[in-house]
Structure 1
Amino acid sequence: MSETPLSPTTPAPERAAEVARLAERLDIADPGSILRFGAEAQTRAQAAADAMLEGARNEATGQAGAALSDMLGALRGFDVTKLGEKPGFFARIFTKAGAQAARTLQKYEGVKGQIETIGDRLDNHRTRLLEDVERLERLYSATLDWFHALADHIAAGETVLARTDTVTIPAAEAEAAAAATDGLAPQKLRDLRTARDELDRRVHDLRLTRQVAMQALPSIRLIQENDKALSARIQSVLANTVPLWRTQLAQALAIQRMRQAGDAVRQATDLTNELLVANAETLRAGNVEARTQIERGVFDLDRVKQANAALVGTLEDSLRLAEQGRNQRIAAQAELAKAEGEIRRALLAARAPQQTAPRA
């Protein structure tokens, strides 16, 4: 009974020479040749599995994630936005001016030290992650070569199986039928069929190993992509999040100082208003006393005219100065609008390159 002939897989043109060489080395009559066939290529599976396990158990990834969480927690724990909030009634009573900002700066120095330490750890982890990415790239290339080597052995084995099914076994069957008196001819045919089945099982094992290699390729890429993503996240935190946090602190402190200056101006304005009222009351009292004394005597018409002229001049000066002040305010408003427009254009011009720059 003859075996069903197999159709060998057609190798790629660039792999045809290697497949032919492997098929030439395979001797169907030598059991040792069949057992050794593809064994060297299969041993690479253990090395690839160990490398994959090492990549999955990479402590640098876990430590980098923990350090990144620590930094984000430290940044969130120091909320600089509370610096801009107005203190409560009791806080205003028991807290001196500037004490809140001083405490904030003191706390900032402590958090800054923690962030710098964590930043150094993150930078070291990022370096290790980039090294792992390069190592995984080499592992991917080696696994791809392993996959091609297994495919070459499978194609060579299928070629020998097809030749055995179509040429070798039919020739042995014809020889066994012709040599009816030779008792060894059937045994040779049976041994040939047994060797053919062993080679078929060997090729099947190589197909299973090739499937493992095929599964390893996307797994390597997945680990590599995770390492690259975590490295990019670390770079983003070090380059963007931390500087932005420091900028926010500087703005909050500036707003706090501006609020304190505003309080000082308000107090000065209140004092000015109080002095104005007091001066008006003093003027009124003095005016009553003076008028009482003036009314007791004869009026000096020249003095009255002179005082009237001075009063008219004062009123005219007040109107003129008020007009000048109004014109100056209008001009200042226009200049402020112009300055604000220049600042907006500068900010827009500074923002444009950042939007087109590639991400780290």
Structure 2
Amino acid sequence: MTKQLTLADLAGGNSAVTSPSLTASDDPAAGAVVPTADQAKAEAALTPDEQIAKLPPADQQQIAQLAGNIDLTRDGIESSYGKDVQRATSTFADEILSETRSKDTGEAGDLLATMLTTIDEAELGGFRKIPIIGQVAVSIDKLRRRYQKVDAQIDEIITKLEKAQAKLVADIAMYNTMYDQNAQQYRSLKLTVLAGKKALADFNANQLPALEAEAAKSGDAMQAQVLKDFKSKLDRFAKRLDDLDRVSVVTLQTAPQIKIIQNADQTIVDKIDTTISTTIPVWKSQMVIALGLSNQRAALDLQNKADDVTNKLLTRNAEALHRGAVDAEKANQRSVIEIDTLEKINSELIATLRETVQIQKEGKANREAAQVKMRQIESDLKAALIDNAQQL
């Protein structure tokens, strides 16, 4: 049974009670349907108990345990509550920032571009273009030597691409871990906030009315001051819960950001796979065909070779280059971040800013109204004290 507090308890203070550390596992928002504006408004209007009732039994039990260990009379609780969870969130955000800063995803893209340029500039079709004279046949020996040189360059680039790909695959796995950790941080923050709201609501409903009645009954101005200071402390605790709730929103926004980075890495990994498994074998097979056709042309008239073989090779090479260039350009022109994603994030941020301003306005209006009421209370109390003194 909860001990009923007195004003003497508030004035004297109590021993500190620490909250147990959270052991988050699943994201409480996982699988949730995105609410409409009206649904979100209705959700925000729910009491802490109503919000908690929607959670799984295990979460309800953990929140009850956390709330039961919260001592609102403890010195400094209004600034220290949830600090461990908040500090862990900050550390996690620093880790993400550090990984992003040290990341060099451009290396793989540069290697792919170098490979395409090397193939394009190799002029391995069996003909080379000379100004004024036009196109002349390249001897089979020169063609073979050029192929061997370019082939060695391609093999070197492939080796580097495979190393870059392995690093990207490791990064993708790391981002999966970071995503899970972010979900744990989000759940810990939400449970911490709900536990604080429940403890505050229970205190306001069960303990605060008795303290107010005691202060009114005593008629002591100092007792009234003690109660006023404690109410200010409760208000600061509520503000602390609001800060933690805002941090949880930032944590929630971090999840899609992690996935965006991860998906960009996966796109590059897929492009490397396509290049190594498809583009290069096709290019080498075409080169074998080119070498074979060059041997065949040696027994034919130079003009016939220029008319027949040149058209075939140029057509095939042009088609291959066309397909490669179109596919590469389509892949490069595709936006990593969809415009719908940007619009949604932007609308959410705008809504957050607007709601924050509205809450600040309401808080200011409430404080101004409270100031008027408190001055009236002081005036009435002083008048009563003077009248009482005059009647003695």
TM-score computed with the length of structure 1 as normaliser = 0.65
Determine the C-alpha separation between the residues in 2 that align with 1:110 and 1:232.
27
The one of 33, 55, 63 equivalent to 1:19 is: 63
Show the counterpart of 1:206.
244
Matches within 5 A, 1:57-136: 57-80=101-124, 82-83=125-126, 100-136=139-175
Cα deviation digits, residues 114-144 of structure 1 (max 9, x gap): 1111111110110010110111111111110
Cα distance, 1:175–1:47 mapped onto 2, change above 3 Å: same
Cα distance, 1:174–1:90 mapped onto 2, change above 3 Å: closer
Cα distance, 1:224–1:86 mapped onto 2, change above 3 Å: closer
- In the alignment, structure 1 residue 144 sits paired with structure 2 residue 183: yes
SS in 1 for 2:105: helix
Determine the C-alpha separation between the residues in 1 that align with 2:130 and 2:300.
15
Cα deviation digits, residues 77-102 of structure 1 (max 9, x gap): 2243x32689999789x97xxx5222
Show the counterpart of 1:239.
277
Show the counterpart of 1:324.
none
Shift of 1:192: 2.3
Show the counterpart of 1:28.
72
SS in 2 for 1:31: coil
Cα deviation digits, residues 252-293 of structure 1 (max 9, x gap): 1222222333449x9xxxxxxxxxxxxxxxxxxxxxxxxxxx
SS in 1 for 2:139: helix
- In the alignment, structure 1 residue 50 sits paired with structure 2 residue 94: yes
Show the counterpart of 2:227.
189
- In the alignment, structure 1 residue 10 sits paired with structure 2 residue 51: yes
Determine the C-alpha separation between the residues in 1 that align with 2:287 and 2:189.
60
Cα distance, 1:223–1:176 mapped onto 2, change above 3 Å: same
Any conservation in 2 of the 1:23–1:156 contact (CA below 8 Å)? yes
Determine the C-alpha separation between the residues in 1 that align with 2:91 and 2:230.
35
The total of aligned residue pairs comes to 255
Any conservation in 2 of the 1:83–1:256 contact (CA below 8 Å)? yes
Show the counterpart of 1:338.
none
Determine the C-alpha separation between the residues in 2 that align with 1:88 and 1:151.
72
* 5+ residue gaps, structure 2: 1-44, 305-392
Specify the code of the residue in structure 1 equivalent to 2:126: L
SS in 2 for 1:164: helix
* 5+ residue gaps, structure 1: 267-360
Specify the code of the residue in structure 2 equivalent to 1:83: G
Determine the C-alpha separation between the residues in 1 that align with 2:255 and 2:194.
21
Determine the C-alpha separation between the residues in 1 that align with 2:131 and 2:217.
114
Determine the C-alpha separation between the residues in 2 that align with 1:88 and 1:101.
22
Q: Which runs of 4+ in 1 moved over 3 A?
A: 84-92, 261-264
Cα distance, 1:240–1:90 mapped onto 2, change above 3 Å: same
Determine the C-alpha separation between the residues in 1 that align with 2:134 and 2:258.
59
Shift of 1:45: 2.5
The one of 155, 163, 166 equivalent to 2:205 is: 166
Determine the C-alpha separation between the residues in 1 that align with 2:130 and 2:229.
97
Any conservation in 2 of the 1:60–1:129 contact (CA below 8 Å)? no
Cα deviation digits, residues 181-229 of structure 1 (max 9, x gap): x444312321321121111111011011111101111000111111111
Matches within 5 A, 1:207-222: 207-222=245-260
Show the counterpart of 1:313.
none
Specify the code of the residue in structure 1 equivalent to 2:187: H
Shift of 1:7: 2.0
Q: Percent identity?
A: 27
Larger RCO, structures 1/2 (Cα 8 Å, 6+ apart): 1
Show the counterpart of 2:194.
155
Determine the C-alpha separation between the residues in 2 that align with 1:33 and 1:213.
23
Show the counterpart of 1:254.
292
SS in 2 for 1:26: coil
TM-score computed with the length of structure 2 as normaliser = 0.60
Any conservation in 2 of the 1:84–1:256 contact (CA below 8 Å)? no
Cα distance, 1:51–1:61 mapped onto 2, change above 3 Å: same
Any conservation in 2 of the 1:67–1:118 contact (CA below 8 Å)? yes
SS in 1 for 2:298: helix
Any conservation in 2 of the 1:42–1:206 contact (CA below 8 Å)? yes
Determine the C-alpha separation between the residues in 2 that align with 1:186 and 1:69.
76
SS in 2 for 1:49: helix
SS in 2 for 1:43: helix
